[in-house]
Amino acid sequence: MVPRPRSLSSSETDAKVRRIKLTVAYDGHDFCGWAPQDGERTIHGTLSQAVCDVANEDADIVGASRTDSGAHAKGQVCHFDTIRPIQTSNWVRALNDLLPPDLRVIRALHVHSEFHSRFWARDRWYRYRIQTGQIDPFRTRYTHAYGRPLDAPAMHQAAQTFVGTHDFRAFTQLLGPADNTERTVHHIAVRQVRDEVWVDVLATAYARGMMRRLSGALFEVGRGSRDPATLKVLLGLQSGHRPVVLPAAGLCLMRVRHSRPTSRAG
């Protein structure tokens, strides 16, 4: 019988605990997102089980961003605590030996005990890809397969409306009136790359569903079904016509950057 993983005692936690930061990549097509869900295959659940099997102890894994079901990542970041004196370079090999091919650990680092993958995140870079040429079936897992031209320059110009700190309530899933939907977008660019349009957004954080609705609004501008002037009206809008939600397949978390915050709040 395989022994059950054990939890850390208070004395072990005080004396031996090490915080490990992982950078992971995944094809999210066959996952139900990052967040744990009973009975569902999730990134968090799959990764937690692998850490648990390697360390033979419970692992509380904290991610920098909760990617949607079907969305992908090249640079997701998470952390966990362990008492196992495993060299950080060996965590990559040990975990990848257990993980499925659609989830890989790219690197592992031993970090300060106060490091927090979510609260220390300085910014997060997401990319949304839209196929605008003949649809390639080998890319439909990773793009929105639109298959018609879009006006990328018009999309880029309209996208600058979102730069700065705004209330993105109209770009999220339905939330309660008390939920904070104010976010800061540092940079946004839309460009044609061969037969695709890429929407790249760098923001401090994102409200739930924000990236897919924001890309959807720009998609509507690109195909001529939305006046760019309406984007400014949407910012802070409490109700009314929301932008289309594009499929999760085109969304990828490219990178998360961290720095020590002046405050742990938020």
Contact in structure between 192 and 262 (CB atoms under 8 Å): no
Q: For position 263, what pLDDT does the model report?
A: 53
- Catalytic residue numbers, as ranges: 68
d(CA 16, CA 27): 34
In whole angstroms, give the CA distance from residue 172 to residue 68.
Answer: 13
The DSSP output letter for 141 is T
Within the chain, which residue ranges are assigned CATH 3.30.70.580? Answer: 10-111
**C-alpha–C-alpha distance, residues 58 and 4, integer Å:** 9
Mean pLDDT of 155-162: 98
Q: What residues have CB less than 8 Å from 175, skipping those under 6 apart? A: 169, 181, 207, 208
What CATH class has 123-258?
alpha beta
Q: What is the rounded distance in angstroms from the CA atom of residue 43 to the CA atom of residue 22? A: 13
Q: State yes or no: pLDDT of 139 exceeds 50.
A: yes
pLDDT tens digits, one per residue of 17-66: 999 999 999 999 999 999 999 999 999 999 999 999 999 999 899 999 99
The model's pTM is 0.91
Say if residue 97's pLDDT is above 50: yes
* Residue count of the chain: 266
Q: Per-residue pLDDT for 174 more than 70?
A: no
Whole-Å CA distances, 116 to 19, 25, 106, 112, 228? 9, 19, 18, 9, 38
- Distance between CA atoms of 119 and 201, rounded to whole angstroms? 19
Query: Mean per-residue pLDDT for 148-165?
Result: 98
Percent with pLDDT over 70 in the chain: 91
b/e string for 117-152 if b means 16 or more Cβ within 10 A?
Answer: bbbbbebbbbbbbbbbeeeeeeeeebbbbbeeebbb
Q: Is 3.30.70.580 the CATH classification of the domain at 10-111? A: yes
Whether the predicted pLDDT of 76 surpasses 50: yes
Tell me the C-alpha distance between 51 and 45, whole Å.
10
Please, which pLDDT band fits residue 185 given cuts at 50, 70 and 90? Answer: very high
Question: Where in the chain is CATH 3.30.70.660?
Answer: 123-258
**Burial per residue of 69-107, b for 16 or more beta-carbon CB atoms within 10 angstroms, e otherwise:** bbbbbebbbbbbbbeeeeeeeebbebbbeebeebbebee
